[in-house]
Structure 1
Amino acid sequence: TGSKKRKLVDDENQTGRPDKRPRWLETLDMAVDLLKPCGADGLIIACKEFPLNIIQKLLPYVKPSRQLVVYSLYREPLVQLYTELKKTRKDVIGLHIYENWLRSHQILTDRTHPDVTMSASGGHILVGTKVTP
């Protein structure tokens, strides 16, 4: 009849459907594989989701005295990350959260003014330095 059935693979779960890993988790595993041999001179992350899992996986590969920077459009994930790093990690110091601010302008002939539909925030940045504990 023209309908395609999905083939079941060997890594099936209990429901009979194939296990499906999120794309971000596969990308994270690829990043870990790249960083394992030589480490990283810094870590810059821009994320839409909660960044703690990403930081926990990649932070061990950041060399000492190197910077960690995490960008998020919202402050709450960074506050939770800040609290978790302060509480559980002794190898990250100098943690600060900054708010970005961006004002776009509309430029027309003989007049310039701030864009009427601009947002109040350009996002937030958490910065810190990894050290040897």
Structure 2
Amino acid sequence: MEFQSCVKIINEWDIVAARQLGRNVAKELGFGTVDQARITTAISELARNIYLYAGQGNVYIDKVYDAGKSGLKIVATDEGPGIQDIRKVMEDGYTTSGGLGAGLPGVKRLMDDFDIDSTPGKGTEILATKWIR
């Protein structure tokens, strides 16, 4: 996969950098302010999860074009402990950090396409795409 932009997530400032990059790319693509906010919230949640649970990883952000549609694709990857029970983490209200974040169900609701692949002991990859309406 060839990506336009990548933010390595190592500390909390990297979460802010990933959000800012996402907002800039969304603005360039012509997303409205509401969708820009949705995208930055999703990026924030994904980057925060990498920081909290895997220690480090990457957030890739790219423009995508498909069948005349334009959108923004986010891929969040890490080589952390992985997710033991994907069904459980996709339940609303489930938290292991005690936080009030949107969590992965929130990311799924904020974006149009969402896919998660995780192998315990190997890491997690999450793909999320938002299309311009």
TM-score (norm 2): 0.37
Q: Which has the higher helix share?
A: 2
If you compute each CA radius of gyration, which structure gives the higher value, 1 or 2?
Answer: 1
TM-score (norm 1): 0.37
